[in-house]
Amino acid sequence: MKRSVSVPVFSLTALATIACMLAWLHLVESAAAARDAAENLARIEAYEAQILVLRNLDSNAHLVGEQPTEATGAWVELAKSAGISEKQLIEINRLPLSKIEKTAYSRDDVFIRLDAVTAEQVVKFCLLCSNASFSYSPLSVQFSATRASVAEGKLETWNTTLVLTRILYTATNET
Amino acid sequence: MNRVESEYRRLAATKDQSRIPKLGTTLPAMHAFWAAIPETGARYNVSVLHFTPDRIENLDGMCKGYADLETLRASMVSAGFAIPPLSASLTSSGATLRWKSVDWVPGIVAEEQP
């Protein structure tokens, strides 16, 4: 009789112990999950604050594949806006992307040759290219005097070669 | 979380100036050069003029004489171009004008060297 009572008591105690252990484990897991969630929330809030700041800044580089594509016609239009005719824009040549060492960025260069233009037209063209949606800056500008500019009384004109550049972000899996 | 991180990386890669390599532009130096050209008082011809960011890489030409060369040089020095003391030669058509690798320091007047 005594033995038959102690068996269920023992079983109940064992079950209660197991339940308590499971509950404890669950509690520990829940606490860890809550900690993770709180940390994630803090990180998201930090990212959100930085994203809001960054969104208000001008872009200084373009994402490769997402940059605005500029057709030859866009260059011709920019030149015309600077007072340079299509006949004076004698070469537009996109150079291969060149990786900037030890960075996740590349240079996207365009070589342009202008025939018999004034310095004012060149500067205006460079400014328009810098401010255009595809945003190229002059990295090299070389003026060579034309024969006409040497003659007295003539407006100074130059045969000009330009290398315009912009920076592309070319890393694919930056961490 | 991944979307937020991805958006942050995209924006930081294109807008965070501290991450983006700086290549410079020739525009400020070009502007300083053309603005400093003396309108009167110097007679000269420039045949080649090459700008890179913050620098005149190469300038070739002729001045009528040493005085014209010095007038042009003084204007450029006052505009911030670090032009070394003259080393020119006189030819039948005037004094040679040849500057190579001249740095432009914005806002700072290059010091005259003795």
pLDDT, tens digit (0-9, with 9 covering 90-100), for A101-125:
888 888 999 999 999 999 999 999 9
Give the pLDDT confidence score for residue B103 in this predicted structure: 94
Minimum-distance CB partner of B26 among A48, A59, A140: A140
Q: In A, which residues are within 8 Å of B31 by CB distance?
A: 123
Question: What are the pLDDT digits (tens) for B16-72?
Answer: 777 788 888 999 999 999 899 887 766 888 899 999 999 999 999 988 888 888 888
Interface touch A169/B5, C-beta < 8 Å? no
Give the pLDDT confidence score for residue A35 in this predicted structure: 92
Helix H or strand E segment including B94: strand B94-103
For residue A121, what are its two tokens? 């037209």
Give the pLDDT confidence score for residue A2 in this predicted structure: 59
The Cα–Cα gap between B25 and A165 comes to 9
The Cα–Cα gap between A89 and A78 comes to 11
Mutation for B interface: A51, A54, A144, most B CBs within 10 A: A54
Interface touch B48/A145, C-beta < 8 Å? yes
**Is B105 an 8 Å CB contact of chain A?**
no
Give the rounded percent of residues in chain B with a pLDDT score beyond 70. 89
For residue A115, what are its two tokens? 């025939």
Mean pLDDT on A129-146: 89
DSSP class of A173: S
Give the rounded percent of residues in chain A with a pLDDT score beyond 70. 86
Interface touch B26/A138, C-beta < 8 Å? yes
The Cα–Cα gap between A40 and A14 comes to 39
Is-contact B1 A43, C-beta < 8 A?
yes
Neighbours of B39 (CB within 10 A): 6
Assembly ipTM:
0.83
Mean pLDDT on A69-83: 86
Q: In A, which residues are within 8 Å of B24 by CB distance?
A: 137, 139
Residue A43 CB burial class (10 angstroms; 0-12, 13-18, ≥19):
middle
Give the pLDDT confidence score for residue A150 in this predicted structure: 56
Give the pLDDT confidence score for residue B113 in this predicted structure: 47
Q: In B, which residues are within 8 Å of A171 by CB distance?
A: 13
**Is B52 an 8 Å CB contact of chain A?**
yes
Is-contact A59 B14, C-beta < 8 A?
yes
Q: How confident is the model at residue A174 (pLDDT cuts 50, 70, 90)?
A: very low
For residue A48, what are its two tokens? 């959100």
The Cα–Cα gap between B73 and B82 comes to 10
For residue A81, what are its two tokens? 């806006």
**Sequence-distant contacts of A64-67: CB under 8 A, at least 24 apart:** A64/A97, A64/A106, A64/A168, A64/A169, A64/A170, A67/A108, A67/A134, A67/A166, A67/A168
Is pLDDT of A175 > 90?
Answer: no
User: Does the model's pTM come out above 0.80?
Assistant: no
Is-contact A76 A68, C-beta < 8 A?
no
Q: In A, which residues are within 8 Å of B9 by CB distance?
A: 174
Mean pLDDT on A125-134: 86
CA A81 → CA A99, A111, A143, A161, distances in Å? 32, 19, 20, 18
